[in-house]
Amino acid sequence: MDPLCLISGDFGPFTPQIVTQVPLWLAIALKKRGKCSICPPQWMTVEKLTQVLEVERDSQEMSEHLPFHYVEISRLLFDHARDNIPDAYMVRSLIEDIRDVRFHKVETDLEGFNGRTIAVKIKNLSAMEVNIVRPFIGRALQAFYKHDSSELIPDPERAPDRRPQVAHNAPRRQLRR
């Protein structure tokens, strides 16, 4: 097939049995018309995912081996290209487990908000999780900001409430005392 010169970029000549790199939507469109088969991404193998799951379970931090949109990518690939993924059921259940563990971590982090949090930093959050917590964090921080800014006189006798940066704590910076 001839090379495609699209607005989004140029995608090279398509020859049979040669691996070419294209954006996800193009790959899915071609797959739907039965013109190609999709190679699953590197992070989407049983071994890699089991590794990631172990890391997630052991540490409080988010694993950085998963791309930002891993939920969406895996969903699309399962819907359209299930036959191209080896051990599809295993991979799917691993991804579900990873999702649960990560979200649980996020939830426990969120419980640690108090009036003195001015910014929240979470490393390696994925797109799906961000969109789930976004309205909550926005409104919670807003409420804290509103109620906190009316305290114009800080209490000098209050002991510094420094949050220990211990390993079990998620890497969120609290810039207040």
Partner 1 sequence: MGSRSVEGEQASLADDYDALISTTDVVLLKRAWRNEKAAPEILHFESDLITRVREQIELMEETVEEKSTVGTDPLSVSLYQMDLDRTLFLLRSYLRIRIQKIEKYMFHLRKTEELWNRLSKDEKFFTERCTDDFKKHLEESVLSKLPENYQSYERQSVISEEDDMVPEPRLDTFVLCRSKEYLTGIQLEDGPVDDRSKLFEMEPDVLYFICYKSIKPLVESGKIDLL
Please say which residue, 131 or 168, places its beta carbon nearer to partner 1: 131
Cα(140)–Cα(150) distance, rounded to whole angstroms?
A: 16
Kindly state whether residue 125 participates in binding partner 1, applying the rule CB under 8 A: yes
11 three-class SS? strand
Are 44 and 85 in contact by the 8 Å Cβ rule? The answer is: yes
Residue 95 · residue 70 · CB < 8 Å = yes
Q: Which residues pair with 5 in a beta bridge?
A: 10
> Which residue stretch of 6-14, 47-55, 88-96, 160-168 sits at the interface with partner 1 (rule: CB under 8 A)?
6-14
Residue 6: C-alpha distances to residues 9, 21, 23, 50, 134 (Å): 5, 14, 11, 38, 34
Q: How far is the CB of 41 from partner 1 (least distance, A)?
A: 2
Minimum CB separation of residue 97 from partner 1 in Å reads: 21
Host H or E run for residue 6: strand 4-6
Residue 55 interacts with partner 1 (CB under 8 A): yes or no: no
Rounded to a whole number of angstroms, the minimum distance from the CB of residue 104 to partner 1 is: 18
The yes or no reply on residue 136 touching partner 1 (CB under 8 A) is: no
- 10 forms beta bridges with 5
* Choices 50-58, 101-109, 132-140, 161-169; region in contact with partner 1 by CB under 8 A: 132-140
The smaller minimum CB distance to partner 1, of residues 23 and 104, is found at 23
Q: Are 67 and 47 in contact (CB under 8 A)?
A: no
Chain contacts with partner 1 (rule: CB under 8 A):
1-2, 4, 6-9, 14-27, 29-31, 33, 35-44, 67, 73, 118-125, 130, 134, 137-138, 141-142, 145, 148-149, 151-152, 154, 175-177
